[in-house]
Amino acid sequence: MKKDQGSREDCEAAMKMSSRKAARRKHPERVSCPPGEASLTTTKDSVESLLRRARMATLSGDVGTAIPLYARAIAQGCTQPDAYNDLGALLGARGQIPAAVVQFEMALALDHRAVVVRKNLCQALAAMGFAASEAGRWSDAAAAFGRLTVLDPDSVSSHTNAGAALRRLRSPGPALPYMQRAVELRPQGAAERFNLGSVLLELNRAECEQELDRTLVLDPAHVGARVHLAVVYNRLGQLSRAAALLREAIDHAPDHADAHGNLAGILREQGQMAASLEHYRRSLGLAPDSHRVHSNYLLARQADPAAEPAELLAEHVTWDARFAAPLDPGPAAPGVPRRYSPSVDRNPDRRLRIGYVSPDLRSHAVASFIEPIIAAHDRAQVHVTCYSDAVPDPVTLRIQNAARPEVWREVRGLTDEALASRIVEDEIDVLVDLSGHTADNRLLTFARRPAPVQVTYCGYPGTTGLAAMGWRLTDEIADPPGPADLQHTEQLWRLPHGFLCFQPNPEYPAPGPLPSLERGFVTFGCFNNLSKLGDQVLRLWARILLSVPSSHLLLKARALSDQEPRERLRRTFLELGIEPERIELVAYAATPVEHAACHARIDVALDPFPYAGATTTCDALWMGVPVVTLAGERHAGRVGASLLGRIGCPELVAASTDSYVEIAARLAVDPARLAGYRASLRSRMTDSPLTNPSVIARDIEAGYRAMWRLFCAQGASEGPLRDPHGVA
């Protein structure tokens, strides 16, 4: 926050009493008021008498007597602006800034031309805004600085600070006019241009590029502008251009944590995992207190073939110890206050209040799995509250209207602490995290234990590491009993019919004929993010292509709109003996229908490892394309095995890399079998629990109920009970 209005201390000291000189003229001698003088006044004292004694007490330095005398005069109907102003000045000097603001506002209302009063009010509001900012009370800060912009419409800093507070509330729309006004007042200010460009970027407005470019014209060394421009180009699919800007930013500021972190994210999407992890570690070293940077690193590690399960667990536990544990009140114990009400109704059979927390209740893969569950919940058994951290889009509105949650709360502007308090007020019994360590997660809300039972589900392929997260929903294929339990800090609750419920896109067409019949050769395909296509994966796919002469491989990913990853992939396959013309590269589809149409070009889908697909696998199966997957050692590598097992296709699950090559190669040379899959996979899905939300919802509700009963079985001050099996 800018502070050219002065620090809070300066503001307090600068508040002036408009009547001080007049008081000195009337009372040149210093009169001491006896202690407790104010308490001796009676209701018969006139307002003028009270004010006279208040001013005398002020002149003698007896503030403790002056304040109640002023207050009594005001209570008896005083309408003199000076009295309100003087009381405000005394309160401000004592550090009671909000109370001082009230008095100054009253004084200004009585005399809107009072220069001293207006100045005092501005200084008090500035002090209040700075104090609120330092305490993280961004709503209070926005209100204080917003009022300042009305009182002083030509103050650049007031507009900047008001906009900055609103941005911290994740309210870029209301922040925009303040940043625009700051630029109007200081058009050649690089900082003001950068702030405006940043808000426009948050709003996904095309004008952001122009403002950020202008920032660099005004200040060629501006690192923040380069970092934000990189975000713009990343969104446009110009990943190499974005990476170049971030490298320039790092050249200017080698210790800029965000530049390293953003470059790591772009390299990850381009499939350069080793370089990505290197920059994530640099960012972590430069910003050790950033839980979001650390979460980004943990997500990237899920695709790292060198990451051993025990190592991943240790890294997640480290995140918990550094960021979550200090906020964790710990398991219930005598004398330890709970965030949730200690008088919670422990009736094991009553209707449960379920809360779902997610930034992805929008056009996102998570929505396609959780929307049908919310819609299918038995409302006689559960009451559903959604805490949405998403920027609303048509999918958000659809979930609100079609999935029918009883309560929908937009929580983008709430801090983790405020969200935890909101959840406590809502008396949630079972709180469900749908993000894990993915973007915009709310794990630090869960760290505060706002609900008696806390569960993580669906959004992240592994443990959160949180001691405060009691449970994780999964199944016995994705997380086999025994080994998987040792990879989690949560207790695993294994759902009997699979842990995912897929909602097919109704716009997808019916599966078409085999493309190999028309093209004369088999086409393998993968539509996963390039971050999942490591060197081991590419080498294995090259083996498959070599074993099936003339076959092609079609890769589809957003990053392939950029030339650099296209050239790198073709170069890599050429080194592995695969001619460039056998590799087909397709950029990210603009619409769901275009995405579905791409399945008409592939005969067999290849699942990556050690981070398998989920939505991509379901989409392929729905379009009649069989998916070959390799069952790994941890959840991230076993989702494909779970999905295929649920629709009765275990023959497509490989236990080793050699088996993976063999299954794919044999399938490719058996057109009758491929045609059978093309004709039957959609019906297999519709006949399975995978697309039957009522089945999965009942399983999940049974899990919530069992967890709740375990909680109810414990004493009011005992630690949480643990189910030894975790199987519904």
Within-domain flag for 331? no
Q: Give the CA distances from residue 6 to residues 2, 10, 130, 214, 250, in Å, rounded to whole numbers and listed in that order.
A: 9, 6, 9, 29, 33
d(CA 619, CA 597) in angstroms, rounded, equals 11
Asked which of 30-34, 335-339, 583-587, 693-697 is least confident by mean pLDDT, the reply is 30-34
Kindly state the tokens that stand for 200.
């426009």
| Closest listed residue to residue 700, CA positions, set 436, 411, 417, 475 | 475
* Mean predicted lDDT score pLDDT of the chain: 90
Give the model's confidence band at 11: pLDDT under 50 very low, under 70 low, under 90 confident, else very high.
very low
**705 pLDDT higher than 50:** yes
Q: Are residues 581 and 653 in the same domain?
A: yes
Asked which of 172-186, 203-217, 324-338 is least confident by mean pLDDT, the reply is 324-338
Q: What are phi and psi of 554, to 5 degrees?
A: -105, 120
Domain boundary among 262, 289, 316: 289
**24 pLDDT higher than 70:** no
Number of neighbours of residue 93 by Cβ within 10 angstroms: 14
DSSP state letter for 362? S
Q: Are residues 126 and 148 in the same domain?
A: yes
CATH number for the domain spanning 493: value is 3.40.50.11380
Asked which of 198-202, 410-414, 445-449 is least confident by mean pLDDT, the reply is 410-414
**95 pLDDT higher than 80:** yes
Cis peptide before 187, with omega less than 30 degrees from 0? no
- Label residue 482 left, alpha or beta by phi (over 0 means left) and psi (-120 to 50 means alpha): left
Q: Are residues 676 and 530 in the same domain?
A: yes
Domain of residue 260, residue span: 223-289
CATH number for the domain spanning 239: value is 1.25.40.10
**229 pLDDT higher than 70:** yes
| Closest listed residue to residue 19, CA positions, set 50, 46, 54, 45 | 54
| Closest listed residue to residue 455, CA positions, set 444, 442, 468, 445 | 468
Q: Are residues 192 and 240 in the same domain?
A: no
Q: What is the CA radius of gyration of the chain?
A: 32
Q: Are residues 635 and 527 in the same domain?
A: yes
User: Domain total for the chain?
Assistant: 4
Contact 354, 704 (CB under 8 A): yes
Q: What is the pLDDT of residue 338?
A: 52
Q: Are residues 239 and 213 in the same domain?
A: no
Kindly state the tokens that stand for 251.
């050249």
Within-domain flag for 424? yes
Q: How far is CA 280 from the centre of its chain?
A: 18
CATH number for the domain spanning 627: value is 3.40.50.2000
| Closest listed residue to residue 541, CA positions, set 608, 600, 599, 598 | 608
Q: Are residues 161 and 269 in the same domain?
A: no
How many CA atoms lie less than 13 Å away from 147 in the CB half-sphere? Answer: 19
Within-domain flag for 696? no
Q: Are residues 603 and 707 in the same domain?
A: no
Q: What are phi and psi of 255, to 5 degrees?
A: -105, 25
pLDDT in tens, 32-78: 333 444 443 444 478 888 888 989 988 888 888 889 998 988 988 89
Contact 389, 364 (CB under 8 A): no
d(CA 616, CA 162) in angstroms, rounded, equals 43
Q: What is the pLDDT of residue 392?
A: 87
Q: What is the pLDDT of residue 63?
A: 86
Query: What pTM, to 2 d.p., does this model score?
Result: 0.84
Q: How far is CA 467 from the centre of its chain?
A: 20
d(CA 687, CA 608) in angstroms, rounded, equals 26
**459 pLDDT higher than 60:** yes
